[in-house]
């Protein structure tokens, strides 16, 4: 993965999201559209004469997927799949839904025990899908964990159907839906003729082409200890960046903080020695899935996984305040505040 370097003043566009921001000095005003979808605020900026058509098309693409994939919308295909769990019904789904479900299964196979989209009952037990957040009892958690088993999700991509084999199981695509939507949004922008754009889907930032001045986009990763500041800045073109961290959604009970990234093996918030994981790749949905899965996996497994692939780069922020950057990002990485208490090191193959 190669990116050009040009460290500029941090002015101009500033797209804030759950994990990152894209910004830089630009002269041309973009067509810009902000909207609410998939339970988060999203922003699309597009440059050039096709910009206005592009941002509208991108929004439509995202909203269409929200209607298919939302677990809280009783009319969505995922809600229908969950409603028929265990009754033998093969639920008809859109080809996009089938594709995403199949992809989620493939990630579960790549990182067994670290990623499972049937985690929904455990999320409910902790109250993360409502505002009634609490530490579940051992009995409640055990019952929920018994319903987490991705092998009990069957997807027939050829016939566009899916079914859950066990009653009470539920799918939650929160770890992949925004990444999938980012890919569809980019497709919509490019089909409209847009060649330069930024897509911020609440934790997933996609940069298309370069900035209007020809320089790479500057993308900042949030500081997990101070979300008003940043951990690092990356200079990127034509990639997606996704960040997951325990600072995004959490609650405190009896002086202990519990975050929403659940380890499917234990049913508890992942305790992997990481504060945040950032994945950079051209594959939108892979970035989204891996930022969650590798947060659960921990530093050693994440680096081993990276060493076995050529299509991803990582920024890992550890509990002991180290920032581990994989070598493909070495020349485009910069600590935001060198005196901010973090040290960084380069992981090499």
Q: Please check whether residue 229 lies inside any domain of the structure.
A: no
| Per-residue pLDDT band at 21 (split at 50, 70, 90) | low
Q: Tell me if the pTM is above 0.85.
A: yes
**Could you tell me which of 1, 5, 34 has the C-alpha nearest to residue 233?**
5
pLDDT, residue 131, reads: 77
**Could you tell me which of 238, 325, 226, 237 has the C-alpha nearest to residue 277?**
325
| pLDDT for residue 25 is more than 90 | no
Phi, psi of 83 (to 5 degrees): -65, -25
DSSP state of 136: P
pLDDT, residue 17, reads: 37
pLDDT, residue 138, reads: 97
Q: Please check whether residue 98 lies inside any domain of the structure.
A: yes
DSSP state of 137: P
- What average pLDDT does range 171-192 have in this prediction? 98
Q: Please check whether residue 81 lies inside any domain of the structure.
A: yes
pLDDT, residue 297, reads: 98
pLDDT, residue 3, reads: 34
pLDDT, residue 203, reads: 75
Looking up residue 111, the CATH number of its domain turns out to be 1.10.3980.10
CA distance 157 to 65: 17
User: DSSP assignment of 76-90, as one string?
Assistant: SHHHHHHHTTTTT--
- What average pLDDT does range 146-151 have in this prediction? 97
Kind of pairing between the strands at 313-318 and 322-326: antiparallel
pLDDT, residue 301, reads: 98
Average confidence score pLDDT of the chain: 92
pLDDT in tens, 289-312: 999 999 999 999 999 999 999 999
| Per-residue pLDDT band at 22 (split at 50, 70, 90) | low
Q: 3-class SS at 114?
A: coil
Q: Please check whether residue 169 lies inside any domain of the structure.
A: no
How many Å is the maximal CA-CA distance in the chain? Answer: 59
| pLDDT for residue 157 is more than 70 | yes
pLDDT, residue 28, reads: 77
- What average pLDDT does range 183-188 have in this prediction? 98
Sign of dihedral through CA atoms 306, 208, 245, 319?
Answer: positive
User: DSSP assignment of 149-210, as one string?
Assistant: -GGGEEEETTTTEEEESSTT-----TTTHHHHHHHHHHHHHHHTT--EEEEE-SSEEEEES-
| pLDDT for residue 78 is more than 90 | yes
- What average pLDDT does range 107-122 have in this prediction? 97
pLDDT in tens, 193-233: 999 999 999 879 999 999 999 999 999 999 999 989 999 99
- What average pLDDT does range 224-246 have in this prediction? 96
**Could you tell me which of 258, 270, 332 has the C-alpha nearest to residue 296?**
270
pLDDT in tens, 324-343: 999 999 999 999 999 999 99
Q: How many CB atoms lie within 10 A of CB 127?
A: 16
Element (H, E) at 331: none
Contact (Cβ atoms closer than 8 angstroms) between residue 245 and residue 113: no
Q: Please check whether residue 43 lies inside any domain of the structure.
A: no
Give the chain's count of helices (H) and strands (E): 8, 19
CA distance 243 to 238: 17
Give percent of the chain with pLDDT exceeding 70: 92
- What average pLDDT does range 151-160 have in this prediction? 96
CA distance 67 to 1: 34
- What average pLDDT does range 318-325 have in this prediction? 98
Provide the phi-psi class of 62: left if phi over 0, else alpha when psi is between -120 and 50, else beta.
Answer: alpha
Q: How many domains does the chain have?
A: 1
Contact (Cβ atoms closer than 8 angstroms) between residue 220 and residue 7: no
Q: To the nearest 10°, report the CA torsion of 246, 248, 252, 256.
A: 10
Q: Please check whether residue 124 lies inside any domain of the structure.
A: yes
- What average pLDDT does range 52-62 have in this prediction? 98
- Radius of gyration for the chain, computed over Cα atoms and rounded to the nearest angstrom: 20
Helix 95-110 to helix 51-69 angle (10° resolution) is 70
Q: Please check whether residue 106 lies inside any domain of the structure.
A: yes
Q: How many CB atoms lie within 10 A of CB 163?
A: 20
Q: Please check whether residue 31 lies inside any domain of the structure.
A: no
**Higher confidence at residue 26 or residue 236?**
236
Domain assignment of residue 155, given as a range: 68-164
Provide the phi-psi class of 48: left if phi over 0, else alpha when psi is between -120 and 50, else beta.
Answer: left
pLDDT, residue 19, reads: 47
């Amino acid at each position: 993965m190669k990116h050009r370097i040009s460290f500029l003043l941090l002015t101009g566009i500033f797209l804030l999201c759950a994990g990152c921001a894209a910004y830089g000095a630009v002269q041309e005003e973009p067509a810009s559209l902000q909207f609410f979808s998939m339970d988060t605020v999203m922003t699309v900026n597009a440059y050039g004469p096709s910009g206005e058509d592009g941002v509208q098309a991108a929004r439509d693409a995202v909203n269409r997927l929200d209607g298919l994939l939302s677990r809280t919308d009783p009319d969505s295909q995922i809600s229908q799949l969950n409603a028929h769990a265990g009754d033998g019904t093969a639920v008809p789904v859109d080809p996009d839904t089938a594709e995403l479900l199949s992809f989620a299964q493939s990630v579960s196979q790549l990182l067994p025990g670290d990623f499972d989209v049937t985690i929904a009952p455990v999320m409910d037990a902790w109250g993360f899908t409502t505002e009634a957040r609490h530490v579940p009892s051992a009995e409640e958690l055990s019952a929920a964990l018994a319903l987490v088993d991705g092998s009990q999700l069957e997807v027939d991509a050829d016939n566009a159907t899916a079914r859950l084999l066990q009653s009470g199981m539920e799918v939650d695509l929160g770890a992949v839906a925004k990444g999938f939507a980012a890919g569809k949004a980019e497709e919509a922008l490019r089909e409209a003729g847009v060649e330069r754009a930024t897509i911020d889907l609440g934790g997933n930032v996609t940069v298309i082409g370069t900035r209007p001045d020809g320089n790479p986009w500057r993308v900042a990763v949030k500081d997990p200890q101070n979300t008003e500041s940043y951990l690092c800045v990356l200079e990127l073109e034509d990639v997606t960046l996704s960040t997951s961290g325990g600072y995004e959604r959490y609650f405190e009970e009896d002086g202990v903080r519990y975050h929403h990234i659940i380890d499917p093996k234990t049913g508890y918030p992942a305790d992997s020695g990481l504060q945040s994981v950032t994945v950079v790749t051209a594959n939108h949905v892979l970035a989204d899935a891996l930022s969650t899965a590798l947060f659960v996996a921990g530093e050693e497994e994440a680096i081993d996984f990276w060493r076995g692939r050529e299509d991803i780069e990582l920024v890992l922020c550890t509990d002991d305040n180290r920032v581990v950057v994989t070598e493909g990002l070495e020349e485009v990485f910069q600590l935001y505040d060198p005196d901010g208490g973090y040290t960084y090191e380069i992981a090499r193959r």
